[in-house]
Amino acid sequence: MADDRCIVGLDIGTSVIRVAVGEVDEGGNLHVIATSSKKSAGLRNGVIVNIEDAKDVIKEAIESAEQEAGIIANSVIASIGGSQIESENSRGVVPIRPNGKNNTSAVTPEDVSKVIDIATAINYPADREKIHVIPQNYLVDGVGGISDPVNRLGFKLEAEVHIVTASKNVIQNIRSCMSRAGYGLDGVMLKTLAEVQAVCHEDEMELGSIIIDLGAGTTDVIVLLNGAPISTASVQVGGNFVTNDIAIVTGIPVAAAEKIKIESGCCWLPGIESDDDVILPGVGGRAPEVIGKSDLCQIIQARMEQIFTMVKAAIIKNTNDSIKQLSGNIILTGAGARMQGAVELAQSVFKTSSVRVGVPESLGGIEEQYRNPEFATAIGLLVANKGILEKRDARKKSKRRGTAKNTKEGDGFLKKIKKIFF
């Protein structure tokens, strides 16, 4: 069947392409009906560098999910992250014009739209494109903490927003890749923003939390406070660096080092209860060797500690004193979150016990396939974009009436992102 009631989330990762298919029933409930994972090709640090190679793997991953779900997908929502992402906070101010019979000054939806437009009226380099505009806070006559200012009486409306931009070239590469693979692109979404919807509870968003995506090529971060992001960042170190360290120190191939990292890796030395032997494969006719798990842990812990330290420094730099206001949790996602000792090491570096692994909430269906930190992005793309079905329905109705309009790709998508944090 066609994908009229289905959404496809595509997580374009440095080492793995992950796909999740969600179906929305008549009651508006989302169910995950298929997933797939394929080893990446044509990517470096989360960026497509070879469109043909990436296209082949992405097509294979989507087709695998299509077969499992029994659907034919027409388009996808894709993730974006890494060093090509930049963000900043901005503010806009507008007067509230008198309206109504009593000539009172009450905020209208038009005032809200105008103040958001003013807040985002920033000149960006020609090679950058806005992908998200997220309201953080509204103020009426200087009084803040307002999530919906409509109908509030006052004379001045202010809006504080978080703006996320991406490289136009990177977005175009994603679009070209999808086109060559035979699929449309409903939009691109910041991967950590998608993960918020999959793994973060509402009280964590309000109290102030940090999501750290421990990927292979990069480690991406989003900081939340009062229900909205205040900072997004990326450090150019990830799990591949851990693998390379193991390979260099032990003298084994990278592929073997990756296997050992996944099967025997630990990044918290105090958590090792027994120093079991880890077998290193022989190379070039050399006999296999043995390394203690504690020795392996020391190699891994040094790099993982560096990653967490770099993340902490980036957060402090981008948020100034706001980090002191965070009283929620640090949530670890991505494949690196599954490593033994990751939570304990993060607790040590950030000096807090409030660290947990981010597992997507239950959406029914094939839970054993998606309820793990690796699928946080793909599942988040589904959760955050249920409204895209309404956009499809409206487009079909417009076409039937002969009134279809050429809208900028992603307009409805951006509106949905604004609603996420209201």
Ordered DSSP codes for 19-55:
EEEEEE-TTS-EEEEEEEEEE--SEETTEES-HHHHH
Q: pLDDT value at position 105? A: 85
Question: 3-class DSSP state for residue 234?
Answer: strand
> How many C-beta atoms lie closer than 10 Å to residue 309's C-beta?
13
Chain-wide mean pLDDT for the chain? 90
C-alpha radius of gyration, the chain, whole number: 23
- Does 275 score more than 80 pLDDT? yes
Tokens read off for 292? 């203690």
- Does 399 score more than 80 pLDDT? no
Residue 267 per-residue DSSP state: S
Q: pLDDT value at position 334? A: 97
- Does 24 score more than 60 pLDDT? yes
Tell me what the mean pLDDT of segment 277-287 comes to: 88
- Does 409 score more than 80 pLDDT? no
Q: pLDDT value at position 416? A: 37
User: pLDDT confidence of 414, banded at 50, 70, 90?
Assistant: very low
User: pLDDT confidence of 421, banded at 50, 70, 90?
Assistant: very low
Per-residue pLDDT of 117-174, as tens digits, reads 999 999 989 999 999 999 999 999 999 999 899 999 999 999 999 999 999 999 999 9
Per-residue pLDDT of 98-133, as tens digits, reads 865 556 689 999 999 999 999 999 998 999 999 999
Measure the CA–CA gap between 134 and 163, rounded to whole angstroms: 6
Per-residue pLDDT of 245-255, as tens digits, reads 999 999 999 99
Question: 3-class DSSP state for residue 361?
Answer: coil
Annotate 148-196 with DSSP letters as a single string: --TT-B-SEEEEEEEEEEEEHHHHHHHHHHHHHHT-EEEEEEEHHHHHH
Tell me what the mean pLDDT of segment 342-356 comes to: 97
- Does 26 score more than 50 pLDDT? yes
Q: pLDDT value at position 365? A: 81
Q: pLDDT value at position 396? A: 56
Alpha-carbon dihedral angle through residues 13, 16, 17, 20, given to the nearest 10 degrees? -100
Q: pLDDT value at position 397? A: 57
Q: pLDDT value at position 374? A: 97
> How many C-beta atoms lie closer than 10 Å to residue 121's C-beta?
9
- Does 400 score more than 70 pLDDT? no
Residues 339 and 266 sit within 8 Å (Cβ to Cβ): yes
* Single-letter amino acid code for the residue at 336: G
**Which residue in the block uniquely carries the two structure tokens 């939009």?**
187
Q: pLDDT value at position 415? A: 44
The three state secondary structure string of 286-354 is CCCEEEEHHHHHHHHHHHHHHHHHHHHHHHHHHHHHHHHHCCCCEEEECHHHHCECHHHHHHHHHCCCC
**Which residue in the block uniquely carries the two structure tokens 């901005």?**
90
- The percent of residues in the chain predicted with pLDDT above 70, rounded, is 90
Question: 3-class DSSP state for residue 258?
Answer: helix
Q: Which residues contact 379 (CB under 8 A, 6 or more apart)?
A: 9, 20, 32, 198, 360, 363, 370
User: pLDDT confidence of 28, banded at 50, 70, 90?
Assistant: confident
User: pLDDT confidence of 393, banded at 50, 70, 90?
Assistant: low
Residue 124 per-residue DSSP state: -
Residues 322 and 240 sit within 8 Å (Cβ to Cβ): no
User: pLDDT confidence of 215, banded at 50, 70, 90?
Assistant: very high
Question: 3-class DSSP state for residue 4?
Answer: coil
CA-wise closest residue to 190 among 312, 342, 77: 77
- Does 359 score more than 80 pLDDT? yes
Tokens read off for 118? 């003013």
Measure the CA–CA gap between 231 and 319, rounded to whole angstroms: 7
pTM here is 0.91
User: pLDDT confidence of 309, banded at 50, 70, 90?
Assistant: very high
Per-residue pLDDT of 31-65, as tens digits, reads 999 999 999 999 988 889 999 999 999 999 999 99
- Does 413 score more than 50 pLDDT? no
Per-residue pLDDT of 322-335, as tens digits, reads 777 899 999 999 99
